[in-house]
Structure 1
Amino acid sequence: MKESLSIWQIEKINEHRREREKSFIIAEKPVTIFLNDKEIITLLATPENLKELAVGFLLSEGWLREDKPVESIELEPEGFVRIKVKYRTSLTEKLFLKRTITSGCGRGVIYYNVLDALDMPKIRSRQKISGAMVFDLMQELNRRSLLYRQSGSVHGAAIADPEGIKIFCEDIGRHNAVDKVLGRAFLQGYSPQGKILLTSGRVSSEILVKAAKRRMPFIFSYSGPTDLAVQMARELGITLAGYVRGHRMKIYAHQERIKV
């Protein structure tokens, strides 16, 4: 927590008065991810849970296999995360051949075409949850967002089930926050399949694909979705709801899974 925040002297204007005060500022650091000694990407992130971020990113991009363990993870002071696996990844030769500029902060890169995700098998979950449970989960997400309350400059993400939030992380990037919770789930041996993804940020197609790859049938957000995310949610069988605030929400896809 301490390394994620710094205190700066700032000046504030309140109507016609100028005031000096100390303010918490969120940290932003470059994080370079290596897989089997090959540099993959440098992300800008909040400097906590960086091993989880690296694993989650590589899982989301298809570099790591869910059914194979990671041999080792090392975090170096320079912000380098070095991951080693004993198997060969077929994407190595495609590193610079198929990249997509994302809608995330800092013009992120993903190494696949999001539209290819439409070829994934549809999620046919019969699980249903109540609207009251959705509201409770989002309130719990807000309660856990300590960095946000102190700085106002981060996103929160969580993996939850009907009993509550199981994994929670924060980051300056909404994609990073989701990758962190997915990476932590992998490292803890906790399967996100059939679980709920919560996010404070906009649900873009990239976020939707991250959940679809993990076979998560529910995404709930404090913000709204993009039109491509709605289209993909409807085709891939994911219940998508946004603007979950107080006791209200808007359901964009597969509303039959939410009971009033």
Structure 2
Amino acid sequence: MSSDSQEYVIHEYRRGFSRKTVSSIREVPLTIFLNGREVVTLLCTAKYPEYLAVGFLKSDAFISSPAQITDLTIRDEGDRLTAEVETCHDPWKDRVMERSITSGCGKGTNFGRNVATISKRTVGGDVRVSPEQILTLAKELHERSTLYKTTRGCHNSSLCTPEEILLFREDIGRHNAIDMLCGQCFLDDVAVDDKMIVTTGRVASEILLKVVRIGVPVLASTAVATSFSVELARKTGITLIGNIRDDSFWVYNDNGRIIGF
């Protein structure tokens, strides 16, 4: 057993009942406070909480520059985590805390404002990737997914060049895995205009919006995309790929980045 999972004895039915030991992925609430005010509670695996907290705040437009962050404290209370973020600006100014329930069953803030603002953006970047590279990166993502193989309970995301995976993150939520990548790129000043994200899980609009806000020009998933995310990809210029299998994938939007398309 690792800190990422907990073993339980259960009963399995397979032409009769028998005892079986299984691993369940760890689930811990992470409550984010911004300048002393509670923003949200995310359910996560408790891995990389600083990147997850900052990535959420960045992708939800509370912060726009690492220089705004004056203090970041993570408190681990065993059964829950707290992230206390202090900034030198007023992130609440002129902000109406509208909530929306996302397709990941989480709460998003200011969804309408996010869509209206982000859909006006155009994502640049001249990264070029071949079909063979896309299939290879998706295969490697699966091979790295040891926690998924153990628990069957997590999603995985990676920041890549066409040639290799640079960062790999896994969590119970596909949103969290993306936010961890966003937070690390944001805090570590990682250039992303020549990168791509390869991920698991359905590409709904909130996932697409996060990737647009990060500025990564290519998003590829082993699952399918919703109609709203396809429309947003075409408006913003994101190259959107889905339904990746061993030898095939779907191209929802190219924008000149897929070699041979």
TM-score (norm 1): 0.92
Q: 3-state DSSP class of the match of 1:210?
A: helix
Change (3 A) 1:118 1:40: closer
Q: 3-state DSSP class of the match of 1:258?
A: coil
Question: What does residue range 136-175 of structure 1 map to in structure 2 within 5 Å?
Answer: 136-175=136-175
Report deviation, 1:4.
1.9
Unmatched 5+ stretches in structure 1: none
Report deviation, 1:44.
1.1
Question: What does residue range 51-130 of structure 1 map to in structure 2 within 5 Å?
Answer: 51-66=50-65, 68=67, 70-78=69-77, 79-89=81-91, 91-92=92-93, 94-96=95-97, 98-104=98-104, 106-113=105-112, 114-130=114-130
Deviations 1:106-154 (A, max 9, x none): 3322333243145433224343211111111111111111110100110
TM-score (norm 2): 0.91
Match status 1:230 vs 2:227? no
CA RMSD, Structure 1 to Structure 2 (Å): 1.8
Change (3 A) 1:18 1:154: same
Paired residues of 1:202 and 1:223 also in contact (CA < 8 A): yes
Q: How many residues align?
A: 256
Deviations 1:151-184 (A, max 9, x none): 0110001111123111111111111110011112
Distance in 2, matches of 1:212 and 1:173, equals 19
Paired residues of 2:68 and 2:89 also in contact (CA < 8 A): no
Distance in 1, matches of 2:22 and 2:235, equals 45
Change (3 A) 1:253 1:133: same
Paired residues of 2:241 and 2:250 also in contact (CA < 8 A): yes
Identical residues among aligned pairs (%): 31
Q: 3-state DSSP class of the match of 1:246?
A: coil
Distance in 2, matches of 1:21 and 1:35, equals 44
